[in-house]
Amino acid sequence: MNYALTHERFETPAGGLSVFASEDGVVRAAGFGSASEVAARLPSGLRDGGWSHGALPHVGTAVQAWLDGDGSGLAYVPVHHEGGAFFQDVWEAVRGIVAGEPVSYQEVAVAAGRPRAMRAVGTACGRNAIALFVPCHRVIAARGRLGHYGPEGPGIKAALLAFEAGWGDAEVLRAGRQAHPDDAAPTTDGWYRGARAAGGHR
């Protein structure tokens, strides 16, 4: 049987990253869950075609560069989402956020051309099915709060932000434990100042 999608799993400081790409190398789904959990987020037309385990070298190169401290390559991995024009604009804006420099939902709304559409930006991030390559974990709530992170939960978001901020392995793990959406987001300076958990690690 010829499967429509290839799956490869990569180990990261935030856990295993499952990636699904079509025959043209375009990533259609990715996330920090099991292969079956991430595959469930695929559009039905792609999901129905099945998938097989294999190698995705272009994805592996970008992920390894990110692990080595260069997150810029993630933005060049081809991706495709199902969604309307505004969602596409949001996801494109999110791909331009620099690793280690999280921005607010309002800032993404401005970048996407609708400055007052913060809630819609939140919805678009919540529907993002291509985690890491469309890095919605870099979008944080008002006053530096961590905010939500789709099905993966705030713990994964906190761990990703801590890793990209250059925290050590133990600190990345600690940041991810029992993280709450109202906690301060990890930054290069420690915890974001001004949010509920500012000034103290969990």
Q: Which domain holds residue 54?
A: 5-76
Instruction: Report how far residue 73's alpha carbon sits from residue 55's, in angstroms, rounded to the nearest whole number.
Output: 18
Cβ atoms of residues 41 and 131 within 8 Å: no
- Same domain for 99 and 27? no
What secondary structure does DSSP assign to 140-174, as a single string? E-GGGB----GGG-HHHHHHHHHHHTT--HHHHHH
pLDDT higher than threshold 50 for residue 1: no
Q: Mean pLDDT over residues 186-190, rounded? A: 85
- Same domain for 72 and 98? no
Q: Is 160 among the domain residues?
A: yes
Total domain count, the chain? 2
Report pTM.
0.91
pLDDT tens figures, 107-162: 999 999 999 999 999 999 999 999 999 999 999 998 899 999 988 899 999 999 99
Cβ atoms of residues 134 and 89 within 8 Å: no
- Same domain for 109 and 156? yes
- Same domain for 50 and 97? no
Set 75, 112, 132, 136: catalytic member: 136
- Same domain for 33 and 108? no
Q: Is 125 a catalytic residue?
A: no
Q: Is 81 among the domain residues?
A: no
pLDDT higher than threshold 70 for residue 200: no
- Same domain for 141 and 65? no
Tell me the CATH number at 172.
1.10.10.10
pLDDT higher than threshold 90 for residue 201: no
Alpha helices in the chain (DSSP H): 35-39, 44-47, 57-67, 85-95, 105-111, 118-126, 154-164, 169-176
- Same domain for 65 and 139? no
- Same domain for 67 and 105? no
pLDDT tens figures, 61-99: 999 999 999 989 999 999 999 999 999 999 999 999 999
- Same domain for 67 and 97? no
